[in-house]
Amino acid sequence: MIISLNWLKKYADIGVPTDELVELIGSRLVEVEEVIDLAPRYKDCVIVKVEQCDKVEGSDHLSLCQVNAGSGDLVQVVCGANNVYAGMLAVWLPPKSVVPETYGTGDEFVLESRKLMGQVSNGMLASMRELGLGDDHDGIVEIDPESAKPGDSFAEKFALNDTLLDIENKSLTHRPDCFGNVGFAREVAGILGSKFNEPPYFAELSKFSHDDQEKIEIEIADAELCPRYQAVIMELPESYPRYLTPIAVDVARVGMRAIDPVVDSANLLMLLTGQPLHTFDYDKFVKVGGLGAAKVIVRAAKEGEKLELLDGKTIELDSKDIVITSNDVPVALAGAMGGANTAIDKSTKRILVESATFNLYSMRGTQFRHGIFSEAITRFTKGQPPALTNFVICKFAEMTSKIFGLKAVSKVFDAYPVEIVNQPIQLTVDDVNKLLGSGFDIKQVRATLENVGFAVHGEFKVTAPWWRTDIHIEEDVIEEVGRLTGFDNILAKLPMRSFEMPTPDDLGDMKAKIRRVLSDMSANEVLTYSFVGERLLKKVGQDPANSYKIINSTSPELQYVRQQLAPSLLEKVYKNTKAGYSGIALFEMNQVFVKNEGMNGENVPIQHDNLALAVQGDFYLAKLFLNNLTDKFGIKLDYRNTELGTTETFYEPKHSAGVFVDDLQVGIVGGVAAGVKNNFKLAVDTSAFEIELGLLLGKVKVGAGYKNQSGFQGVERDMTFKVAVDMAFAKLETTVKKTLQADGLQSEIAPLDIYQGDDSATKNITFRIKFASYDKTLNGQEIAGIVNKVASAARKELNAEII
């Protein structure tokens, strides 16, 4: 939203430099996003008199003009407009000046002296479009000779030497009053503690003469949807003055386009007061209703009802929209846009002017359903106070009568079923100081609140003024006091803490440690999106129906909540190989959700905190990463052949294993299946694991794995066992370990070799076994006994033969 500094100065006594003002507005009201100096845009525009005007020979539309820019010297300008004539005042853009329409666009058009049809043209005479004020390009702008003389600066005469403040709308969502320049100025005066120059039309209703020729019946079906509706009928004059009006320039200055006197007047009042007005062709309005007189009914739209809008689009209405109807026939989508059936056109003689307030929630719905984001509906979605409509409609009638010769042919009709008044709020100065940590007394609080129009009684009861729709509770009042006096004047200090131990964030701590361990193992942590496309799901064989689906995603690649992390990693492995990397190991820790698992106790989707790692290499490499990692947490993993789950379809079944701690499955590790490898264009064997950290967390053993060291000489023996080819390595390993431990020895065993010779029925597994006694140095006989024990256990339990 744009706030004009000229207007601010008009309605409030400013008295501080602009940078200081912007700083104060920033700290006490709202962030100023940008300060725009308008003056340079119009600095070269000069008002000139066209002294001579002749046709250019050989051209059907060009005129050769001699213009006087005040000095009396004549300058030649070629002009293509058909409304140019000798004796008029126009706006001249001299050579070397920038056409205002293009100023600051980065594609600026600099005028020069150039030949047109053989005649030199020095710059140009400007239309509304070239001045950046409107879209009109049919003729050049004509200036009222009563208001200016040749040589006058156009910017000075039309108050264009202005500074504009671009305000961040979001932080004023609750302040409808600040969506008008006057209300904004009122607030700034409050902040500065200076005088607010209230426009007279707020002090007293504007007076305008009218006859009672026409009558309007207004019916509001539901006061919740439309708290207040006012209307007046006005007759248009035969014609408007042809001169450029200050109103058109005012409207354009703060960012809207000048259109015609009626629309510009309505827009000007909206920009000043925050109250939008709408105008209908009154005769069409009556005709549509078929009653011979206007009957306005404001009601909820009916499901399926259709309305053709001003812009030619026909929309289907929703029962949550509000419509203005002429005797029940829709003529406007309330707050948003008028209907084509009552649009004002060249033949319009009388207009019906509407000043109303609508339910802000309905307005918001309408805005999004129909994609209408006009200046008017932006204001309606803030909830304008019903008290405002009357001031503004009267001012409109008065202003347009006086300036443009409109004539009211009815009084202002008003439907206001339930009057809305701000209720008093009771609180104490102590309440204020306790919430803010401040030290105000009642005098300061009263002065601060009264300065912005609040009524303060005793110590104290406070009533917000009519234009404040956002003050409902004690805290709202306290915020006003803190804000207007400056939150920054409150002393920042630390609270007294009760001495309590924070609850450890075990999962967070575990993740931090995993990050360090895996990055030390040369893996790289990545973050990838939580949403994936159907394409990715299909590549890994996961069912899209098993993913929560995002309905308003902007990209097909972000349509589903992912079921696992590993597929995203596979995609990144491919991208990095393309970038020339090899030996890639990527890991990520993040949340996943699987739709068919349903809800948790809070009735929200069950959440899994997963860790996944994808590595270029075979199953055994992924497993090694995992073993080394969990080793740091004292967790010993078992790997078992298991059926792949529905989310794990991309692993090769014969090269994957369920990961178990005790008898709890905590995840999966596997080689990527050949078909999937092709889908991802992975040239090298790639493997991955995915672990649920929540499950792993419960298995952490602090101090596990620690063994006291024997002080005696140890023994080292290599033992090779011949076992059946399908004998699981872990079985043999466990048997050997158990046997050594049963003897109370300090022991360590490490695999040396797994060998299969010509005999396809057996394989040889070799371990290097180290052991020592805690009590003594073992002698030869004892050593042989232990080795024999291991051998016989292996033979007995596993039918293994020692070689």
Its sign, for the CA torsion 677, 678, 680, 681, is positive
| Using rule CB under 8 A, residue 640 touches other proteins | yes
* Least separation in angstroms between CB 530 and other proteins: 6
Task: For other proteins, give the closer residue by CB, 201 or 639.
Answer: 639
How far apart CA 269 and CA 264 sit, in angstroms, is: 9
761 binds other proteins (CB under 8 A): no
Residues 6+ apart with CB under 8 A from 170: none
What tokens does 150 get? 């040749």
- Minimum separation from the CB atom of position 435 to other proteins (A): 6
Rounded CA-CA distance 241/402 in Å is 12
Minimum Å gap between C-beta 676 and other proteins is 8
Closest separation in Å from C-beta 336 to other proteins: 15
Instruction: For other proteins, give the closer residue by CB, 97 or 590.
Output: 590
- Interface residues for other proteins in 583-602 (CB under 8 A)? 584-586, 589-591, 593
Residue 534 lies near other proteins (rule: CB under 8 A): no
Q: Could you tell me if 756 and 763 are in contact, meaning their C-beta atoms sit under 8 angstroms apart?
A: yes
Which of 674, 684, 704, 724 is in the footprint of other proteins by CB under 8 A? 674
Q: Which of 174, 349, 457, 701 binds other proteins (CB under 8 A)?
A: 174
Q: Which stretch binds other proteins (CB under 8 A): 132-140, 251-259, 306-314, 436-444?
A: 436-444
Q: Please say which residue, 232 or 360, places its beta carbon nearer to other proteins.
A: 360
| Sequence-distant (≥ 6) Cβ neighbours of residue 618 within 8 angstroms | 655, 671, 685, 687
* Greatest Cα pair distance in the chain: 130
Nearer residue to other proteins within complex by CB, 493 or 681: 493
Listed ranges 83-91, 264-272, 449-457, 653-661: which one lies at the site for other proteins (CB under 8 A) = 653-661
Q: Give the one residue of 603, 708, 709, 781 binding other proteins; rule: CB under 8 A.
A: 603
> Measured between alpha carbons, how far is 66 from 76 in angstroms, rounded to an integer?
5
- Measure the CA–CA gap between 786 and 248, rounded to whole angstroms: 105
H/E stretch holding 179 reads none
**Which of 297, 657, 691, 749: binder of other proteins (CB under 8 A)?**
657
Q: Does 373 bind other proteins (CB under 8 A)?
A: no
Q: Which of 29, 64, 65, 323 binds other proteins (CB under 8 A)?
A: 29
Shortest reach from residue 524's CB to other proteins, in Å: 5
Nearest to 65 by CA among 57, 761, 55, 307: 55
Of the candidate spans 154-162, 362-370, 416-424, 461-469, the one that interacts with other proteins by CB under 8 A turns out to be 362-370
Which candidate, 353, 385, 379, 355, places its Cα nearest to that of 367? 379
Query: Least distance from C-beta 655 to other proteins, angstroms?
Result: 6
Work out the number of other CB atoms within 10 angstroms of the CB of residue 417.
13
Question: Which DSSP state fits 301?
Answer: P
Q: Residue 499 Cβ, how far from other proteins at the closest point, in Å?
A: 8
DSSP 54-84: EEPTT-SS-EEEEEE-SSS-EEEEEE--TT-
Tracing tokens 């060249």 back to the chain, one arrives at 346
> What does the buried/exposed string (b/e) look like for 508-542 if buried means 16 or more CB atoms within 10 Å of the residue's CB?
eebbeebeebbeeeebeebebebbbbeebbebbbb
Q: How many C-alpha atoms does 658 have within 13 Å on its Cβ side?
A: 13
Q: Give the whole-angstrom CA distance, residue 2 versus residue 33.
A: 10
Strands 228-235 and 638-640: unpaired
Residues 615-634, mask of contacts with other proteins (x by CB under 8 A): --xxxxx-xxx--x------
Q: Is 553 in the site for other proteins (CB under 8 A)?
A: yes
Contact indicator for 196, 272 with CB cutoff of 8 Å: no
Contact between 755 and other proteins per CB under 8 A: yes
Between 566 and 585, how does the x/- string for binding to other proteins read (CB under 8 A)?
Answer: --xx-xx--xx--x-x--xx
To other proteins, the closest distance from the beta carbon of 445 in angstroms equals 15
CB of 798: closest distance to other proteins in angstroms?
13
Show contacts with other proteins in window 479-518 (CB under 8 A): 479, 482-483, 487-488, 490-498, 500, 502-503, 505, 507-508, 511-512, 515-516, 518
Smaller CB separation from other proteins, 60 or 488: 488
CB of 759 to other proteins, least distance (A): 12
Interacting residues with other proteins between 456 and 485 (CB under 8 A) = 473, 475-476, 478-479, 482-483
Spatial separation of the C-alpha atoms in residues 233 and 354, rounded to whole Å: 9
Which position among 69, 116, 420, 521 is part of the footprint of other proteins (CB under 8 A)? 521
Considering the rule CB under 8 A, would residue 237 count as an interface residue with other proteins?
no
Determine if 519 is a binding residue for other proteins (CB under 8 A): yes
